[in-house]
Structure formats: C-alpha cells, structure tokens
Amino acid sequence: MKFDIITIFPEIFDSFKNEALIARAQKKKIISINTHFLRDYTDDAHKSVDDRPYGGGPGMLLKVEPIFKAVSELKKKGGKSKVILFSPRGKKLDQKMVKKLSKAGRLILICGRYEGVDERVADHIADEVISIGDFVLSGGEVPAMVLTEAVSRMIPGVVGKEESAQKMDHAQYTRPEIFEAGSKKWKVPKVLLSGDHKKIEEWRKKHTK
C-alpha cells in the first residue's frame, strides 16, 4: 500500500513516519509513505500556492494549478491510485470506508490549509472528499495521518496479530485486579477473571465499539 501525501508542511509527518508500527511496516516494505511539498509544483518565481478567494472574504485558498500538477505527475509515476481531498465538508470517515480504501493499492492525499482549497480540486481532481469528523482543523495534515494509520492497520502484516487489527475495539483491563487510591477502589469485572471463555466472549461483545 502506497501513500503519497501532498502538503505545504511535509515536516509534520517526520516523526509520524518514523515511529512504531508505521515505521516497521515501511521497513518491511508492506507500506510506503511519501510526502510531496506542494511548492515544488509551482511555476512562478514566488512559488505561490495560495491566493485570495473570488467574491471576497477573509484568508487565502490553496490554488488549483499546483495541486493539478502534483497529482498529474504523481499519477504518471506510480500505478493506479485513488485521489483524496480532505475537507470538513467531505464524507465522514468510518471503519467501513477505511476497509474499502485499504484495497486501493495507492492513495494520493491532498492536505488543505488556510481557508481551504479551490473547489475545482474537489469537483475535478479528487475521487473522494473526506472529513474525519464534525469539527474544523487548521489543515489536512492531521486527517492524512488519521487516514494513513487507520488504512495501514488493515494491510496484512502491519499489526502484529492479524486478529487485533480486524476486530473493533472492546473494553479491556490489565493488572492490578483492584486499583486503590485513597478511598477509591476500582475493580476489574469479575467475569474477566473467571476463566470462562464463553462468558468472557459474551461480555466483550457487549462492550465492543
């Protein structure tokens, strides 16, 4: 699985790419994550990636030309790919979408900034416009990390035990059996200590997201 991330802040991804499961999966060549600096795809001397919105209004928008150039050049180099734009107005990301995206082979992710992106990117360049939730962030970089991590977990071999990647999350406890602090006593549910696997499975099902 390949991730090509187009951004004006590539450094944001440095530690993300080089830690934990994501770093190991890249070493094993199961996934690859490449960031692409949007300013490298400009033609003017000032390397400008943003401009004022038509019709007025505060702030700046990312321009369509550099994004078009970046996506076209990336498409030429690699194989088949799906192009995703991040926007708070996009389709809300869930595990079902994550699973589907993990079959794409290659994702080109476009990170917006400032007041957003010229709408022609959503209309003509992106295959999908995705939001990671009903709130507004300052850029698409955090959403790109969210999507990259969630999709990577679906690729066989990325998560140690296959099982833990496929299942949704259920409530879990580890030692101590009773946590005490002052008058507080927080106990682990008895059923989990019972050794009764059928009952444990039932309890987990009830406490699964």
- Tell me the residue nearest to ligand SAH as measured from the CB: 112
Tell me the window of 10-18, 67-75, 136-144, 177-185 that interacts with ligand SAH (CB under 6 A): 136-144
**Rg of the chain (C-alpha set):** 21
Question: Which one of residues 50, 51, 65, 115 is an interface residue with ligand SAH (CB under 6 A)?
Answer: 115
Identify whether the C-beta of residue 52 lies closer than 8 Å to the C-beta of residue 60: yes
Q: How far is the CB of 18 from ligand SAH (least distance, A)?
A: 23
| DSSP one-letter string for 5-66 | EEES-GGGGHHHHTSHHHHHHHHTTS-EEEEEEGGGG--STT---EEPPTT--SS-EE-HHH
* 52 alpha carbon, distance to own chain's centre: 28
- Cα separation, 44 vs 61, in Å, equals 17
Near ligand SAH by CB under 6 A, which window of 34-42, 99-107, 130-138, 188-196?
130-138
Is 135 an interacting residue with respect to ligand SAH (CB under 6 A)? yes
The C-alpha angle with vertex 98 and arms to 170 and 163, in degrees rounded to 5, equals: 40
Q: Does 133 sit near ligand SAH (CB under 6 A)?
A: yes
Return the residue of 111, 145, 150, 154 that touches ligand SAH, per CB under 6 A.
111
CB of 113 to ligand SAH, least distance (A): 6
Helix (H, G, I), strand (E, B) or coil at 115: coil
Among 89, 100, 103, 199, binds ligand SAH (CB under 6 A): 89
Which chain residues interact with ligand SAH by CB under 6 A? 86-89, 111-113, 115-117, 131-133, 135-137, 139-140, 143
